[in-house]
Amino acid sequence: MTTVSVLLTLHIPSAQSLKDKRAVVRSLVERLRKRLDLSAAEVGLQDDTRRAQIGFAVVSVTPSMARELADRALRFAEQELIGRAEIINTATEEHVLRD
């Protein structure tokens, strides 16, 4: 079994309040969960008006399938954020569990 965890740091220049920021973050998290069937949440920078951290994780039988789904989720996030926010940093960790 392989898990791939991804941490995205976002810059949301148009956010004037935490409410504006949460609208962008909540939308992305919900779409990642529903469209790609993976775990996602806002995991950091909750009190920063213009920056956010979103984490998501995928689990698969093979490392290549886990990486492929994580890459697809990253591309999906980039597309969803066009005109709303930009990804300023990405951190990825992969863990392989063997018998």
Output the tens digit of pLDDT for each of the chain's 99 residues: 999 999 999 999 999 999 999 999 999 999 999 999 899 999 999 999 999 999 999 999 999 999 999 999 999 999 999 999 999 999 999 999 887
Rounded Cα gap, residues 50 and 82, in angstroms: 15
Instruction: List the beta strands (DSSP E) in 12-85.
Output: 39-44, 51-60
Q: List the domain range (segments joined by +) for residue 44.
A: 2-96
- CATH assignment of the domain containing 88: 3.30.70.1120
Are 84 and 12 a contacting pair, CB within 8 Å? yes
Structural tokens at position 23: 């609208």
pLDDT at res. 98: 83
* C-alpha to C-alpha distance for 65 and 73, rounded to whole angstroms: 12
d(Cα 73, Cα 28) in Å, to the nearest integer? 11
* pLDDT value of position 97: 87
> What residues contact 70, with CB distance under 8 A and at least 6 apart?
4, 6, 56, 58, 92
- Residue 16 backbone class (left: φ over 0; alpha: ψ -120 to 50; beta: rest): alpha
Tokens (6 digits) for 27: 């939308």
pTM beyond 0.75: the answer is: yes
How many domains does the chain divide into?
1
Res 13: pLDDT:
94
